[in-house]
Amino acid sequence: MPDARGVEPPIWTPTEDRLRNSAISRYIKWLEDEYGFEFHDYDELWRWSIAHGDVFWRTLWDFFDIKRSKDFQVVREGWMPGARWFVGAELNYAENMLRRADITPGEMAVVGISEARPEVRLSWSELRDRVGSMERFLESLGVGKGDVVAAVMPNIPETLIAMLATTALGAVWSAIPPELGAESTLKRLEILRPKAVLAVDGYVYSGKRVKKADDLRRVLDALGFRGPLASLSYLEGHVPGSIPMEDGLSGRARPEFAQVPSEHPLWVLFTSGTTGIPKAPVHGHAGITVESHKVGELCSDYRSSDLVLFFSSTGWVAWNRHMAALMAGASVAMYDGNPLYPDPEHMWGVMERTGASYVGLAASLIIESMRRGLRPGENFDLRKLRTIGVTAAPLPAEGFRWIVKSVREDLWIDSMSGGTEIFGGLLANVPIVAVYAGGPGTRCLGVGVGGYPAPGLPRRAAAWAVRSRAASPAIRSLPPA
């Protein structure tokens, strides 16, 4: 109930485990031990990360022990647009993603669940060795450092393998969801001008088999594409005129990780287009590596013991962020299909089946469960679930209250507002700060944002004027507005 001032109490307060064992708590303690810095609360830490940005970003490299063959001499040169980050460093994103394969090779790294086929599970060593095999396959197609590989593929383990193989090689990755229409697919391919294309022959959604092989062939003909095309038989065949992608997935080999400069292009992501024509920001290896650690571990508290599940298309930045859970040593659960099919409770059953400890959901999925009066906490065994992440749109206050009441009252709600361009959050909840119903509760480290009180609303409901004053190291380049 609201107090005399009309302010509601928090719906969640940090547990002893979060205060002691979360990555951000360990980071604060490490800063004190290594540098003598003392921070009495999160807000002090945030203000320091803005006032002393170069020091802040440097400490992340050391705290997370980012693997590189050459260290950087300068954290940042210049400001956006045109800023250069971690100048002089050489590294590889995929190498940092697969580090746990040498530590716990037999433990599960990936589980893939799909409407189209039985469950797929891969250990860390299996994932690593398939990445190596796929890397050799891409090389046999003529793909080299700096070439663009476009993948018209769904949220399945083969897509993850192809992404890691592409980036291990120093080539540039870009994913296009197969459910996208022919015109939108063509527009993206026109921007990318890929050296090679990877694809599936179709997909299954809501129990319906959707064939895409002929449509993709027509798109590539309209593009005038004459490069290598490899396709995976996901439904019943291959795209006409393609090389079987299975040739690259069936072998086993250790990956070779091309050491590239920090700003070497990693991938091209496409924005949603909610504010106009979709933009195609390019991200670099170093920026995404450090940002993946910062957002995944300091903000979302990913741990090596976690199984992280997102319901996401490959065309959404949330997919890339989901895969980056591997950077923390966590395992990932991938789901391809309609999370509400064959019934609205299905996605909660997937959580139970996988034993996911962190689940990322679009706000609309939570609102749908709330609208239907579902009570997942009573109907499913969700004891392993520690966190529900919320993104894509603001979750109204009643959605927060529904989670506490109908799922479990001790769940941490990781609500975040961010952007494709920066591959990260602007506003978020963090595991050492209380959560209030209605939205992200604080500002992300290293990102300068300001806010103003919304007229007629209590301070907790202030509207945020997001004005990023600090350049993000994830951004390599943006197309003209």
Residues of 117-145 as b/e, b for ≥16 C-beta within 10 angstroms? eeeeebbbbbbbbbbbbbbbbbeebebee
Give every CB contact of residue 481 below 8 A, 6+ residues apart in sequence.
Answer: none
Q: What is the pLDDT of residue 1?
A: 52
Element (H, E) at 131: helix 124-140
Whether the predicted pLDDT of 480 surpasses 50? no
- DSSP-derived secondary structure for 264-329: SEEEE-----TTSSPP--EEEHHHHHHHHHIIIIIIT---TT-EEEE---TTSHHHHHHHGGGGGT
Give tens-digit pLDDT for 210-244: 999 999 999 999 999 999 999 999 998 999 999 99
Give tens-digit pLDDT for 152-183: 999 999 999 999 999 999 999 999 999 999 99
Report residue 105's pLDDT band, with 50, 70 and 90 as the boundaries. very high
Q: What is the pLDDT of residue 274?
A: 62
Q: What is the dihedral of CA 238, 242, 247, 253, to 10 degrees?
A: -130
Q: What is the 3-state secondary structure (H, E, C) of 58-122?
A: HHHHHHCCCCCCECCCEEEECCCCCCEEEECCEECHHHHHCHHHHCCCCCEEEEEEECCCCCEEE
d(CA 394, CA 80): 28
Residue whose entry in the numeric block shows the structure tokens 């959404």: 316
**Across the chain, how many H-helices and E-strands are there?**
16, 25
Give tens-digit pLDDT for 257-278: 999 999 999 999 988 766 667 7
Q: What is the pLDDT of residue 229?
A: 98
Give tens-digit pLDDT for 303-362: 999 999 998 999 888 899 999 999 999 999 999 999 999 999 999 999 999 999 999 998
- Please state the pTM of the whole predicted model: 0.93
Mean pLDDT of 53-81: 91
Residue whose entry in the numeric block shows the structure tokens 């393609």: 242
- Worst-scoring range by mean pLDDT, 8-22, 158-172, 385-399, 460-474? 460-474
Q: What is the pLDDT of residue 38?
A: 94
Mean pLDDT of 350-379: 94
Residues forming a β-bridge with 121: 111
Mean pLDDT of 7-23: 91
Give tens-digit pLDDT for 408-458: 999 999 988 777 777 777 788 999 999 999 877 788 898 877 665 555 444
